[in-house]
Structure 1
Amino acid sequence: MPFPAQDHGCPGWRGEMAQRISTFDWAATSLGAVEHWPRSLTATVQMMLASPVPLVLLWDTPGYMIYNDAYSVFAGGRHPFLLGRPVESGWPEVADFNRHVMTTCLAGGTLSYRDKELVLLREGRPEDVWMDLYYSPVPDDSGAPAGVIAMVVETTARVLTERWRQRAEAELQETNERLQLALNTGAVLGTWVLDVRTGRVSGDERFARTFSFAVEEAAKGVDRNDAVQMVHPDDRALNEERTVEAMRTGQPFRAEYRIRRPDGEYLWVQANGRCEFDEHGEPTRFPGVLIDVHERKMAEQSLRQLTETLEQRVADALAARAFAEEQLRQAQKMEAIGSLTGGVAHDFNNVLQVINGNLQMLAADAGDSPATLRRLSAATDAVKRGAKLAAHLLAFARRQPLSPTVLNPRRLLAGMSEMLRRALGETIRIDTLLSDDLWNVQADRNQLENALLNLAINARDAMQADGTLTVRAGNRVLDAAFCHDKPELSPGAYVVFSVTDTGTGMAPDVLRRVFEPFFTTKPDGHGTGLGLSMVFGFARQSGGHTVIESEPGRGTTVSLFFPRCDEPETPEAMDDTAAPAGGGETVLVVEDDADVRLTAVEMLAQLGYRILTASSGDAAIEFIDSDVPIDLLFTDVVMPGKIKSVELARRAAARTPPVPTLFTSGYTRDEIVHHGKLDAGITLLSKPYRRDDLARKVRGVLRTGVVDVSGKDGGANAQTAACAPARVLLVEDDPDSRDAFNDLLGALGLDCTAVASAEAALPLLPAHRYDILFTDLTLPGMSGDQLARAALREQPSIRVLLVSGYGRGAQLGASIPNVRVLGKPLDIAQLRSELAPWIDQTEAAS
């Protein structure tokens, strides 16, 4: 379990790399555990973590790599592989270079490189890179060099830009050289002579073509004003000025201007000449030559534009970087708050588990005392309220399991109208504005309705129960400009739900914190501060985003963006006032609990269905494989025996004609839930359910027909001893939780061995056979999911139950077959249902 940095004398260790360094297993290196690091090493790491510059510390002779967040960005796909690895194996393509660095610096020397060219492997391909590298020795507590600190600044972009500029200058020089060659070889655009007294210009054939004159006309001479009209208007004044100056001083004439071509384009030329004078010093004749300088002028223009815009581009890049850093800080802040909130919910559920387990045990021993039972009932209700609060925290932390379906926004809001009116009261006017042809969205219906209702109630409170609430839904296509300051959003098509009030609005300092959990402006006792946090977490978990706009005195608008879904709306059963009756269809009810099975049979019979029953998947498969007509399979998710519910549903779907399946469960299980969501095509009726709920679900599944339930593991067979109590290996680091679980498992008749860590559990697995591994997910040292993988390798038939304060949506990384994740707090009923195969066999043996 990650430990706080201050526990090891390392205050100020912050950021992702601080967490990774503190939790890394350094025992495999010469550095040893973090808490035993020398002061010099700890201080150097603290300095490195606080630096925004990419820094990496190479400690001891192998150069074990310890680096900061900025270096992790530079490392790219090699992070976090590089952490704790010798530098030569971390960067094998430059091993010789790094070996020289370690030898030099550990001997007390320093090294620095400016634009050092190296070839690094990036995404599996060699790539030329340039870097500024600075290496200095780092002394240990005795003052002797023990490591090397390296500053790594990649300069590839600057080097490539400089090379491009040098190429541009070389091209310009080549153009000038070609111009001189053209002059030397007579490659000119024509010669001309101006008769100063008559103002007429004559020229050769090339001059005529350049100015678009007839050859005969140019040979005789044309009016100078006609030639000037062919010059670009912006260039005429300078050309005239230099002509007059040349005729006044007798100095050589040189001017560059553009001449209009027949196609309307302009050609850059250079005119060179010198005026001739008579014996009285009066100008008489002005000969000259035209040279093509178009390519050179284009190159100069490109270089000038590059130079002129370079400063602005640098300023724009710096401003964009500052903005991106601010957005990153805000995102990191919300992510950190989310992680903290999820951790609080996890620990809170651990506490609730201890309380709830002991309440269950007390209730079993309470007898018939009304006062005692009343107090226990009140305490149990308080635990439920606490569990609900923890669920709210998990919603903000985006760890709640969702059941997304394709929704039509118009029908969704129409179905909420009556609920909104009841929640807001008669003094609030509700305006609903919906765009035509609204796109569908994919989201959890209940969570989306709760989010919109929560926003409406917040708006009611802001308006002090008197004002206008406007609910809008519309299609919107976002471009890159809109998403520029909202990095969580990508350009594309969205459906936007917005709730606008005419309330007091919010000040900027309040607006910046509205999504933080427990932040509220309401008086004590009038709000938990979790409403907008839940909305924020739900939208993000659903692939969307939340935007809030508010000004004091002008009200507030909260908008929920959900990506457009092109799939058709998910059909659902009609919510009729009267439960829909059956039409004599045959339903196979598979339920191992006799009381639950009897209740389901009675309700379905009252609804007009014919009933077949089975107490397990093994018994039900006989009906499935027979010729008995079956219209619907109604099965519990968790079943004893070899044939599990998902396998049963597959076999039913393979019949001719196929038989659809309706699942039921008292809690969400991994047979039909993966990554926090129900598997596609699964219909689940949660226990406890009402008769009307059952009626609508049955009719809905019969109407929808068979869905694909392939590809999911039906669960591992329970391997239990025939006559001895099932053996449970319990792993829980919290002593109170461990005692509570031990009591609960013992009350269920199981033989429990309890230890406090995975390290204590591992030696027991080769020496003893266990039926069940019951372990907390978050443990000190090795985690619960790592222990589960090790246990399955040692005992492949063991049943693994992972328990987490983060709930059933806790993340495991890579999936583990046949492993169940349960949320705290648990009670006896949940454990009994989960462990039914072992409990039933134990009871039967006794």
Structure 2
Amino acid sequence: VDLQARLVDVNPALAERVGRKPGDLIGQPAAVVFQNWPGQFERYRGALEINEEVCLDNGKWVEVQVRPVHRPGNEVAGRLFVVRDVTAQKQAEEILKRAHDELEQSVAERTRQLSRANEELRRQVDERLQVEKALRESEDRFKRLFELSSEAQLILNQTGEVVDCNNAFLEMFALTDKSEVVGHRPDEFSAPTQPDGTSSTEMGPKIIASVLANGSAQFEWAHLKHDAKRTPILNELLLTLIPIGGQPFMHVAIRDITQRKHLEEQLRQAQKMEAVGQLAGGVAHDFNNQLTIIINVLTMLRMKMSVSDPQHSLLEMALKASEQSAGLTRQLLAFSRRQVLEPKVVQLNEVVANLQKMLSRLIGEDIDLVFEPRRPLSPVKVDPVQIEQAIINLAVNARDAMPQGGKLTIETGEFDFDQEYARSHADVVPGRYVMLALSDNGAGMDPETQARIFEPFFTTKERGKGTGLGLAMVYGIVKQCGGHIFVYSEPGAGSTFKLYFPPAADEADDHRPETTAGELDGNETILLVEDNPDARETTRLILAHHGFKVLAAADVDHARQLFAAHGPELDLVITDVVMPGMSGRELVNRFTAERPGLKVLYISGYTSNVIAHHGILDPGINYLEKPFSIDSLVKKVREVLWKP
């Protein structure tokens, strides 16, 4: 290449590389040769001397040498470019380098493996020495443990004969000396037959053969003590093949499970109760709810229908079938109640008063205990011990529902269930009842929880914090005492458990005279606010049947709309106490701000002392507690309307 970067001469190899004849390249710009790597050529344009290796864009490697060409007198006439393809050399060098690196890694890894193997070998040797020493010590320790163990144990040889026993075995079987056992076969201490009906003498050799073949066996076995009564015991046996002095023997561990089996039987019985509780809960929650509506509606239809009506007999058949269905539910709920009771005539006020100090300690200082007794109160015939247990269980349940503290209210009172109410509640007998109510202002329960609250083993507490038997026990106690129990609760509004017991039979009847049907009827306008659709419709039908004009609201917003449209014509507002969005008291306050003197009747399943902290039941407020019958509802409505 001359000083103007033109080709002066090229060899055939270069011409072949660029696809031209040598003669065609003479005089051409040198850039023709370097057209695939112009960036490099710019570096070479003024360089007189270069020696380097270059990686081209196509991945090939070339060695480039540039030398000056001199004229006589040492004047530079041009440059000599020599370009040589060294790709194969570079690839060989790379392969060699990788092989070298892999070899080094392999040698290093093998060295590590050998080091680890040597370490493991040393460890195994040390461990083997330790094991041999431990085995010698273990045999001595096993002998001591065998003798001192509180668990009955035997050592059998391969033929199944006893070669040794410990003192616990002698004690379990009422024996005095090892000579009564050693040399004998275990089936000599067995019951003739096992619980599954198989012969002990036939099963024994089969079990021995199984242990010798498989190394161990675990099973239950019926034995007889060597006492005067030949007391039967049920044991759990674990047979294990062990070496002693280099010979195979069988170690037998014997555990008395007689009491455990008894408890398991009790558990199976409890599980039966649980199954019945599941069924009864489902029937009571679904079937009885529907029956209540059916019976009440049929009752109201019967009240409107003449006895001479051809359809009257069909209506009576439907009522009878409904009541028989309710009776089936009652039988399910009464099933499996096995407590032994000692009923006495007692005063519930005295029972609660005697428990007050203990209950205060039981529930803790952060929970206020309030007792509101009714005086006078009719006595009841119940088992006082069982009733005390029921109160304690309910108090504990209330305490657990108020982990941050709160208020537990215990009240007594009397309540009348009439014929109409009894027909809509499967096992309620009409008449007067003495009521015991325990109420808390804790977390409350949703309808799903309430539907299962009395099921055996049902609990909402953490594992280990409750058995699920507390409320089931209360339910059984109340039922066996001839009483009834109801729970009223809403999430965030606390819970009330109401227990109803019939008064003692030898006490004077204190029934108040019944009000005649004519005195109950009316034509006033009533605004009914009830968020439960079934309760709302049933209440509306009862009131409408007695001549009242009823405006029924499903929620607070609907009630406010009805009040805005009919406020001046309203004679009475009947509202539930606890409702979503706004309490009944708050709703009434808005109404009375516009209509001072508007008469109001609150209905709720909560006792007044508990919901008072919501500001709902101040002195002088009219209140009807759930559950209420047709007569009690209409009587209370008439009472409120007649008040000045």
Same fold (TM over 0.5): no
Max Rg structure = 2
In the superposition, the TM-score normalised over structure 1's length comes to 0.23
Taking structure 2 as the reference length, the TM-score comes to 0.29
